[in-house]
Chain A
Amino acid sequence: MTVAPEKSAELVVPEGHVKLTIDGLEVVAPKGELLIRTAERLGIVIPRFCDHPLLDPAGACRQCLVEVEMGGRPMPKPQASCTMTVAEGMVVKTQHTSPVADKAQQGVMELLLINHPLDCPICDKGGECPLQNQALAHGRADSRFHETKRTFPKPIPISTQVLLDRERCVLCQRCTRFSSQIAGDPFIELLERGAQQQIGIAQEKPFQSYFSGNTIQICPVGALTSAAYRFRSRPFDLVSTPSVCEHCSSGCAERTDWRRGKVMRKLAGEDPEVNEEWICDKGRFAFRYATAADRLLRPMVRDADSGQLRESSWTEALRVAAEGLAKARDEAGGVGVLAGGRLTVEDAYAYGKFARVALRTNDVDFRARPHSAEELEFLAASVVGTSPESGGVTFRQLESAPAVLCVAFEPEEEAPIVFLRLRKAARKGRTKVFHLGQWTSPAVDKTFGTLLPCVPGGEPAAIEGLFFNSGTAEAFEALSGSGSVILVGERAAEVPGLFSSVLRLAERTGAKAAWIPRRAGERGALDAGVLPNLLPGGRQVTDGTARAEVEQAWGLAAGALSAEPGRDTDAILGAAAAGELGGLLVGGVDPYDLADPELALRAIERAGFVVSLELRPSAVTERADVVLPIAPSTEKSGSYLNWEGRRREFGTTLDGTGALPDCRVLDTLAVEMDADLFTQTPAAARANLERLGATASTRRAEPPAVPAPPAPGAGEDGVLLATWHQLIDNGSLQDEEPNLAGTARTPVARLSAATAEQFGVVAGEQVTVATERGSVTLTAEPADLPDGVVWLPLNSGVSRLRRELGAGHGATVSLRPQARGGNS
């Protein structure tokens, strides 16, 4: 080091800080800071493997040894700088200034490499491997170990997607610490002892964690590798593009690694405000849907003679689509727009604008799932426009909240990064987490949470009970603490009165309410005005001032926008099924996600003219008159709004594939219909949206005020159905990824012992849950559900409730044991 030591008098040591010297540099550090971090801040790199800033210190690998002097007295041996905290007057010498530290580090490196196979040329990690890099930087050129290395069979699968090569492992325990501390899934552990010490799993108990992929990324050697990525490419052949996850509403920062026009893998990006350094396995592994063989690449038009879809030119398809839509608009009662919940803000804006400008209707809705008018009011009054800047709830606030209540929201399944934050907050003992739900799910346990049990549909009554019922006084008390948060999830839309109750609870306790939808595009579509009652920026359709602003910005004649709120998804489909709507424009909507798939299919068939913008064939494209292919998220730019309302912008990963984003397709389609959207590119759409700015209107939407209904009962013969999506399920964005699918939770039917007995159901045997539409048969598993309730996953394996039962959360279903050996 060439920096001259500064005079100590110049450094002010604030309260709670200490002054120490590292490599001759005086530095002030907060008490409790680890030496390795203080050195990092000075730009001094100390080699390490086990140290990770988001994990508790372990001191497992011993690579970060430094020389330490305390009170003028040198410590007898080099110390691990990743476990030692700073102290007043400490003098630290790293490998840069201390031959002792340097030699110690070389010795540790030599030891770590004794049993390492040195198979870098065939290792996935080669080229981006901390062991490789640090061995070159801080190791000896030669090993003095000439005996036979210890070997293990390799690799062994510890789950369908994570492979373990024990020979490469340096036993740093990053993976085991991540699993037990961060994810709460301690299914991977240090086994055996001495030279046989190794990472492993219990027999028959694979590493079934939704976050297991993170262990692959933080493994500082090539011991944990991904089944999907193994042997696919070398790090130095990859191009890395920052990206944003397209799956849930957390909006995680990711890094997409690709080569030759193909995405090879996704890694967690670093964003301390959002996902820190973690992502879930769905975000990491589920990207191959975009390269599925059935991906739509050419526009298709239904041939008038054969009735079959045939590939066509863009010119022809757009002309046919424009003519058909214009005709439906003018002569057949209008066109409804179903946008879907997976759009970028820019694409969503184009759908909204297309509906208003080209189709002259407010019949537009992004909600491709059960929904309600109450939800619309809730979104308009409490959600739209909120953001971290405007004081909305953030990830960080979850961490500092004294209490968080999850209502109709299953964080681990629906927004895994929210779950990680809740666990982190609860683990540090700062936050009490309450779950208003049906049973003690893994997320309740892992957030050290308290279950406030209620029957499905009984959530509003349970919330009202919070005010008055002494049994839940603790929750009410906790939520009254300043900074408390109520998180409400997508299935709240299936429970009448719930949004109103949540707002009442928020008002009474002072807690902030936040809405966490499940899909990445929902929050953005809300703010872009893809709803029957809202224009962009939260402007209400019924508000004249707001309409005038939009009309002016869009260059429309005054009064061109209808003051009448349009139809929502169900009403659009109902009208189409009844022959009242002449056409449908459908984005990425799967009819089997809707409350009533039969009605949706009937509506699409009945509608005179259907245009489908899709990535891959679906029940909609099968019935559409024109199918227009659009780009997946990797082939376009744009931004998502995550549940916080934080803008998550991303650039194009794969350029020049020719795939067009929805906004471009709609723009051109509008031109064919003599309307200008100015959404030729996502950037143009963004600029057009931003020109609208904030509204000058002072009118606020009225919050919903639906009285809480009494908790429902299912009568004598039926039971109430509780259900939500599991993270890894039959979702079409997880197609083509069998390794990921192998870590899905097994679908089971959960019910209480009393309910099982009442219906003659035996734990571990099959039970059939049915409605008049159909039935689903699963293995029965006892759980702490309220009596008279059965829980099934919404869309996992054979448990496809909307498709098979036409039923969702809160529905009444029948229950019967399935005879042994019978089939359904």
Chain B
Amino acid sequence: MSAPELVTVTIDGVEVQVPKGTGLVETAAAAGVEIPVFCYEPRLGPPIGACRMCLVEVEGMPKLQAGCTMSATDGLVVRTAAASEKAADGQDATLEFILVNHPLDCPVCDKGGECPLQDLTFRWGPGNTRMRFPKRTMDKPIPVSPLIALDRERCILCYRCTRFSSDVAEDGQLVARNRGAQSVIATFEDEPYRGKFSGNVIELCPVGALTSTTYRFEARPWEIQNVPSVCGMCPVGCNIAATTREGRVRRILSRNHPEVDGGWLCDKGRFAYSHLAAPDRVVDPLLRRARRYDELSWDEAIDEAVRMLQAAQGRIVTALSGSETVELAYALGKIVRQGLGSDCAVLPEEVSNELDAVRAPLSRIGQADVVVILGDEPVAERAPIVDLWVRLARRNGAEILHEVDDARIRSSERPVLIWSGEGAGGNEVARLATSFGCPGYFLPRTANGRGAADAWAAASDGEAADPDPIGLLIISGDEAAADPNVRAMAEQAEAVLAIAMFRRPLVGLADLVLPGTSYLERDGTYVNLEGRLQRLRRASIPPAPDELAVLARIGAAVGVELSAYPSLVFEEVSAIAYGGRPYGEVGEEAPLPEPVPPEAVDQVSDTRHVPDGQRADGGLRLVTYKPLFSGPAVERVPELEFQLPEPDIELAPDDARQLGILNGQEVTVRSNGTSVQLRARLVEDLAVGAARVAESFAAGLEGRVEVTP
């Protein structure tokens, strides 16, 4: 791209040079001047100039102008409230009008202390009110959903929330109703706001109008600490701030990483934290004796674990979840591989290192002019934030393709490839992207499956051999514990040792259960789907000792030297897997390493084929997927229940037409004997010949399904 033309703008007497077209708010900031705003939020699209907080005086213009709607042109001379009587009076007026009907319930408002309205009033606003009439009153708070409460009296109608709904998430569910002074924010007929990203409106709201039901009255701003960490709920790895009070997580906020999440979070990442306090949390080591489990002391537990490890005589299989930190996966690997010579593992998923050759920041998707999405699974279910980047690209004029259109891709300037679904761990997409010389993204199923695999590989280079029979099955994490294959193995295994957070579904399966921890309770690193190493920081104290410390003790017992400190363990892994990158360098806003040259990565042999898009006779190809709102954490958060998927079957419009099925119609879905009633939904992003159903509704269905009205 050519360097943009620079223009000179004068703000309150200060001259600044900025690229032509830079927003005036940003231009002023560059000059060290703040233009206060409420409705302005560039991430929501073009400015709307609604709240009038940003009024400034512009030379050559008789009226005050809304600064947020102006952009830098050469010679522009602007005076803000700091330098202009007129502008100051304008801002004072705006604040007086906003406050005319804004209730004075700040003392009991969750926003109190971190409220832009409070702050701006404090700095620019009128000292007293001349409003002598009863303020407008409305029912409050009303539920926007089980997650969000709306206080319409506090709403200042900046339309941030409605713009997010219509222009960012594009779900069109949160809107303004009525006109003029009677306008209110609402959902259709006050039905709950269902959507994967609804929680973002809470952070966008500049007042206490939209608040989190789970954070309501939990803490005052001066009692809290915000711990900078990374979300462990999906492979995107959004940057988060975990708000804690008295060592407990009370809410999750976005910690905008412009390359990764653009400041958005999905509702799973934002609201699932309460699973830390789930009633069936394992807090003491548990040993199975006949029909029941006994709590063990930690010394007993570690002795028992070591005994089991040694008893297996090397016939150990380790099942990983992909939720372990790099350090934990490495520690486990080192113990069983170096210590006990058992190299056999069940990795959560294969993630091809060929991806390193085509890696790029997720934000690249938003700038693309052609986005090719391959694979059968909905992007938003696997990696929700990626869906927002794709929508941004479309709004910027990008074309979204669902098959590899060679000509179109080659003729475009900034194409990107995304693989959402099974696909040989991404080497398929890696190779395609390499051939087009463009970024390629693979959407794994687990948050750190990639890091876990790296770490496991780094722990030893011994050759894996499948033990038969299995002497000891180690189940690491609740996701592995829920995996049918792993459970099947557990039936065979002579003994089962599990490290997990929850009793369900382990009870009856494991002989020894060691308490596990959550990503919010650990220090360590994750590798996200871009291949970006990011730092997790302990936000809340786990109810049990740190896993790494436990593993270090077990290691010592089997003659494997392991540090109990993530930083030291990381140095060890990094030396082997991450080019010796120091722990400190992973940092607060982790950088993404440059792609490695294609010839430098060793190729994985097996590859699979791009879905052919053929409608083979004998019905449609059934595609099932794991919904975003599922899994051990979500299952333990009642507030998220309303977000669970609907009994829908998704069809490509072409197929639906052929079958004479309308959007929203009830249909019967049959495959070898089983038949299920589902509601048809026509979606553009599905390959012809495929039919998509959430796992939870696909019970008994498999292979090809017959769909009839």
Q: Do A and B come from one complex?
A: no
Q: Using a CB–CB distance below 8 Å, which chain A residues touch chain B?
A: none
